Structure 1
Amino acid sequence: MREPDALISTDALARILGRPEVRVFDCTTYLEPPPPGSDDPYIAVPGDKSFAAAHVAGAGFLDLQGEFSDQATRLRFTMPPVAQLEAAFGRHGIGDGTRVVLYSIGTMMWATRFWWMLKALGFDGAAVLDGGLDKWQAEGRPVESGPAKGYPPARFTARPRPGRFVDKQAVLAGMENAGTVIVNALGSQFHKGLEPSRYGRPGRVPGSVNVPAATLVDPQTKAFAPLAAAAARFTAAGVTPDKHVIAYCGGGISATIDLFLLHQLGYDDLALYDASMGEWAKDTALPIEQG
């Protein structure tokens, strides 16, 4: 594993809880059906209610859509300006010298999304809780209820790493470049365009390969699959370390599970198509492929 400190077990988290430099955050968002006639693929609902019901002791809550997304676009969850992120992360007590643990409920993709954002901003002190709150509770570990107590504000200074987030022009260029592989993290039925898509036209970015994020996680424990199994899936799809990898999904969230594991496997040239199918499927000027 390239960066062991970027993945933390429930045992390891239990040992460091309460240390002054540790910041633990629930990152959960829920995607609910939109009202009839809406052009939105879903309604993003912050997981503050489930947080109030049960969370790791001392944890804070990060609202991805509310504080950490670009509010100037109709697309959900896209990266906002760096200054907005510096202010938001600082308000929650994240800064130099802090050790951040990110978790979510039901799926780790909300935690890996925040991990990828922090990584893109040059912050290397974040870890994803393997298995999230699901595994923590399944093991009978203690939780508390009520609102977040919060952490003392900190100064978050971004040191952006260019190229971690890319747009549709980069994807179009990648389609024509033999040195680029575009990876779709959605399920195979959506990759093939066999089912209607809530994002618009069914199908995939032409030429993209499919490594569903769901196949990289144990469905019972919610923890990551073994690295060897993940490596085999990527290799079988033609995703090799010599390639520039652009990952996408529906809204730039589940693809970060693929990117997290690719990073741990030693891949260096990784990018996320932030707008993903939320943009691509609706833009009829962009090509789409089925079958």
Structure 2
Amino acid sequence: MPALDLPAELVPTDWLADHLGDPGLVIVDASVLGVESATGFHWLSGLDEYLVDGHVPGAVFADLLEEFSDPDGPFSFTRPDATRLERVAHELGIDDEVAVVVYDTGLGQWAARLWWVLRSAGVARVALLDGGLRRWKADGRELETGYEAPRTPRQLTLSPDETLWADREEVRAVVEGRAHAALVCASPESDFRGETGRRPRRGHIPGSVSVPLAAVVDRDRGTLRRGAHFTARARVVPPSGDGGRIVVYCGAGIAAAATAFALRQAGETDVAVYDGSLDEWAADPEAPLVSLV
């Protein structure tokens, strides 16, 4: 089977519509829902929404809560190890011979997270659907409901790229001046200032600048921001040298993936997501946080 060539890491709905049914394409819905209840805030799988409300025709569903995260990890959405990731990606029908397009029903942060997980694992042909299901529906595209069985995959060969991830020790080294990188917080601006947040310790990591999800996504269209608006916001990122490193974090490494992806699209070549993000950093009473309130 000939491999399907993706035009870029970000594809529009018309490109996807033209390639529906291509045997060399796997379309993945990566939606997760945030729900407030009497017991507090919690995450829910987007599977029911996928089954009942509809999805892109032919799309399979990826469970970021249970499958594409480490169930034994210390924090929500801890990335899975290579063995688990190879298994769950293979179960979705992903192999060396397909291209993958990922979307979600939100603002693209969940799709970006799965994109980052797959790309860092060595899945070379993977793209985001610009605007996700929201843009797909706004463009008048058809939907399907019910379960879509994954294709039968062949061999999947992974070659992880750990440079796409940062850990607490790297971030600590940056904060202490022992390593050089720009730190970018993708949390909402009120979280960055320390006004809001779900953790007992609020604020941002010292030396960080704020480039939240709202600066990355056009909320009216759901698509990734381009041109002067995003460029102006991205200029707050301190120069880290020609091709210098940028480490992006948020609460749990989800919005961070969207901002990191946008920075890649803006031409940055060394961007990493801090996987533990503030869930890990703020849990350490010795790790410094800056509050502006």
TM-score category (smaller protein): over 0.9
Counterpart for residue 142 of structure 2: 142
- Does 1:188 find its partner at 2:189? yes
Structure 1: give runs of 5+ residues left out of the alignment.
Answer: none
Deviation at 1:4, TM superposition (A): 5.0
Judge which range, 88-97 or 233-242, deviates more.
233-242
Structure 1 residues 169-193: Cα deviation after superposition (integer angstroms, max 9, x where no partner): 1110011337311100011111010
Deviation at 1:240, TM superposition (A): 5.2
Counterpart for residue 117 of structure 1: 117
State the TM-score, normalizing by the size of structure 2.
0.92
Counterpart for residue 68 of structure 1: 68
CA distance in 2, matches of 1:239, 1:131: 29
Deviation at 1:266, TM superposition (A): 2.1
The AA in structure 2 aligned to 1:211 is V
Counterpart for residue 49 of structure 1: 48
The AA in structure 1 aligned to 2:42 is I
Distance 1:116 1:253, change over 3 A: same
Structure 2: give runs of 5+ residues left out of the alignment.
Answer: 1-5
Counterpart for residue 250 of structure 2: 249
Question: How many pairs were matched up?
Answer: 284
CA distance in 2, matches of 1:241, 1:96: 35
Q: Secondary structure, in 3 states, of the residue corresponding to 2:252? A: coil
Counterpart for residue 158 of structure 1: 158
Q: Secondary structure, in 3 states, of the residue corresponding to 2:33? A: strand
State the TM-score, normalizing by the size of structure 1.
0.92
Judge which range, 223-232 or 52-61, deviates more.
223-232
- After TM superposition, where is structure 1 displaced by more than 4 Å over at least 4 residues in a row? none
The AA in structure 2 aligned to 1:9 is P
CA distance in 2, matches of 1:99, 1:277: 33
Q: Secondary structure, in 3 states, of the residue corresponding to 2:169? A: helix
Q: Secondary structure, in 3 states, of the residue corresponding to 2:162? A: coil
The AA in structure 2 aligned to 1:103 is Y
Distance 1:89 1:111, change over 3 A: same
Deviation at 1:265, TM superposition (A): 2.1
- Does 1:20 find its partner at 2:19? no
CA distance in 1, matches of 2:241, 2:136: 33
The AA in structure 2 aligned to 1:256 is A
CA distance in 2, matches of 1:279, 1:236: 25
Q: Secondary structure, in 3 states, of the residue corresponding to 2:85? A: helix
